[in-house]
Structure 1
């Protein structure tokens, strides 16, 4: 099936916003969602008293669409994004956007913007940003009278140009990502706003980002910047932190499954003490944007803990990355239900 592909410089595409022709928008009012529609307007018109602007009543998701070698387009585990958004909505007193409608909205946006799904082999993809926020004339500190759910998309380039290479991180000892029993497990904007300053301070010191410890005791690794942490132990186990303050990364849970079912490893969610870095042979950060960012070293209290190498990706990390990306682009058969095809009209 052949479809027109936009004339963009795919090799030099970065991770930035490019306006695409269509996005989906739906409104919640009087206790129900309307049907929603595709619109060409990339500006959102809301009341100045909207709770999203004053009290941070909003949440979002990040996901991608991929073009396969045969020219088909597919989404990766969109049901998990829908479920995670519903969990975020529960935390912020927002209405659910039903899973089936969420997936259908994403399919519509991808199909309407199919020419902006990058060609197979470029390493690029179409990034989707579903989001929901409280709107309406509401000045008091309570849930909004109305809500907007929308999905827009933008083509993004390969995260690693020239191949993966490890980067170094420092441990943040002065800032927490989230409070104990706070909104750390929800994908809400406030968590990311709070990370901007410590991220900038880490970058100023020459690091890729900072590692956050658990907010209660500051003894255990929780997240790596805006991504989840994982490591490969010297006993060849895949381990990743478990905490109620960690965002439940779809990439992380996919890697847990792949490590166990495809690589035959023990795959465990457990505490990862910051004083126990010596048990790890490899380490990485994982999330939608990069899939995996290899960690070469972590600096903590004046000491550098080097994992496999500061210049080369560890073998298990590389195998996990190749397997995951292979499934996303249709080169490797993934577990049942992980890939959702986007139907396209014949030209």
Structure 2
């Protein structure tokens, strides 16, 4: 594996300023002092020059390939402060593997798993004082890669930058854990068969923003997308996977058919639910059925999950034809149990039979 050159910032944020900012970090607005940068150059044989350095603007030529052809991918993950004061990552190997899968789809080079994890560990170690002490606080980590070669031509680039930055965060949604309201988009699609839906690339999120703006205008917190071909089947939110809990205790989540991002939180929830004796099925679920089951009471809970928001109840769904409410617009017991099981594991407060908690240092 590449050795890392450590170049601590000569102007670290003063402790008093940092600690004041960490009292209420919000989400994705505050950043730590450092970043990790690794270059890829095909002519030099691949990955070179791994550095931990001061967080700073990235020099970029206006002909950089990413600005024209959008070869870009990223990951979202968190580091946690455990009860004993140590720090840990949650399933970083899964993030590294998904990063490689995204790279394959976007015709980009793979970042080796050990290099990916080492980059994240280096950043957590050097910026360990940036962990917020707020309830649910964590260090949100954003590894990303983009085509940096300077050229105008439609082909995969030959040069890339792999960078990791960190942001101290609190809760993703305001409202103290209250169920969110979501808008069912009828006019826009997030992904189509054969497209990039299963890759974590910026283009998928850019395509979702107009629908998210529509949701916001309707007083909703998030947008839910239906399948592009028939607008029949529920797929996912703009940044989270969905689960449906029924009156018999069973759970359904839409299957991974190539148009849905394979969420690591989604996979963890499926495993934890089965560990708790719950029946989980990955199968299609129609939007009309969602409405009917909610109105009849057969559907008791709906929740969304992802690295940023963890596990969040969905209370109301709106579309141009009206709205429906799930479980009295209250967070249900299954949602609460699964969230508790996941958070307890991530924070090191519960046994880790699957070996998911990765201690740093």
- Provide the rounded CA distance (Å) in 2 between the counterparts of 1:146 and 1:264: 48
Verify: 1:62 aligned to 2:76, yes or no: yes
Q: Give the alignment's Cα RMSD to 1 decimal.
A: 1.7
Q: Which residue of 2 aligns with 1:101?
A: 115
Alpha-carbon distance between aligned partners in 2 of 1:250 and 1:171, rounded to the nearest angstrom: 24
Q: Secondary structure at the match of 2:305?
A: strand
From 283, 292, 316, the equivalent of 1:270 is 283
Q: State whether residues 28 and 169 of structure 2, in contact with CA within 8 Å, keep that contact through their aligned partners in structure 1.
A: yes
Rounded Cα–Cα distance in structure 2 between residues aligned with 1:145 and 1:327:
40
2:332 is the alignment partner of 1:314: yes
The 8 Å contact of residues 76 and 338 in structure 1, kept in 2 or not, is answered as yes
Residue 32 (structure 1) aligns with: 46
Distance 2:224 2:31 in 1: 33
- How far the C-alpha of 1:284 sits from its partner, in A, is 1.2
SS in 2 for 1:333: coil
Structure 2 CA distance for aligned equivalents of residues 98 and 128 of structure 1: 18
1:323 to 318, 341, 352: 341
**Which residue number corresponds to residue 226 of structure 1?**
239
Q: SS of 2:206's equivalent?
A: helix
Is this contact kept in 2: 1:138–1:145, CA < 8 A? no
Residues 1:166 and 2:179 aligned together: yes
Tell me how far 1:304 sits from its aligned partner.
Answer: 2.5
Q: Say whether residues 1:7 and 2:19 are aligned partners.
A: yes
**Residue of structure 2 equivalent to 1:338:** 356
Counting only pairs closer than 5 Å after superposition, residues 1-347 of structure 1 correspond to structure 2 as: 6-29=18-41, 30=43, 31-119=45-133, 122-159=135-172, 163-242=176-255, 243-261=257-275, 263-277=276-290, 278=293, 279-300=298-319, 302-310=321-329, 312-343=330-361
Normalised TM-score (structure 2): 0.89
Q: 2:12 matched to which residue of 1?
A: none
3-state DSSP of counterpart to 1:34: strand
Per-residue CA deviations over 1:287-329 (Å, capped at 9, x if unaligned) read: 111111210022245243321122x210100111111111111
Distance 2:116 2:201 in 1: 18
Query: Secondary structure of the residue that 1:7 maps to in structure 2?
Result: helix
Instruction: Give, in angstroms, the shift of residue 12 of structure 1.
Output: 2.2
For residues 11 and 256 of structure 1, what CA distance do their matches in structure 2 show?
A: 34
Deviation readout 1:184-204 (Å, 9 max, x if unpaired): 000000111111111011111
Structure 1 distance, partners of 2:340, 2:52, is 35
Q: Which runs of 5+ in 2 are unaligned?
A: 1-14
Contact 2:205 2:238 in 1 (8 A): no
Q: Secondary structure at the match of 1:8?
A: helix
What is the CA distance between 1:240 and its match in structure 2? 0.8
Residue 11 of structure 1, CA deviation: 4.4
Deviation at 1:168, TM superposition (A): 1.4
- Gapped regions of structure 1 (runs ≥ 5): none
Distance 1:335 1:160 in 2: 30
State the number of aligned residues: 337
Which stretch has the larger CA shift, 328-337 or 219-228?
A: 328-337
Q: 1:219-260: per-residue Cα shift (whole Å, max 9, x none)?
A: 100011221111112221121101310000001010000110
Tell me by how many angstroms 1:158 deviates: 2.6
Separation of aligned partners in 1, 2:122 and 2:201: 24
Distance 2:352 2:310 in 1: 15
**What CA distance in whole angstroms lies between the structure 2 residues aligned with 1:9 and 1:147?**
33
Secondary structure of the 2:143 match is strand
Per-residue Cα deviation, 1:13-46 (whole angstroms, up to 9, x for no partner): 2002323121111001124101411011421123
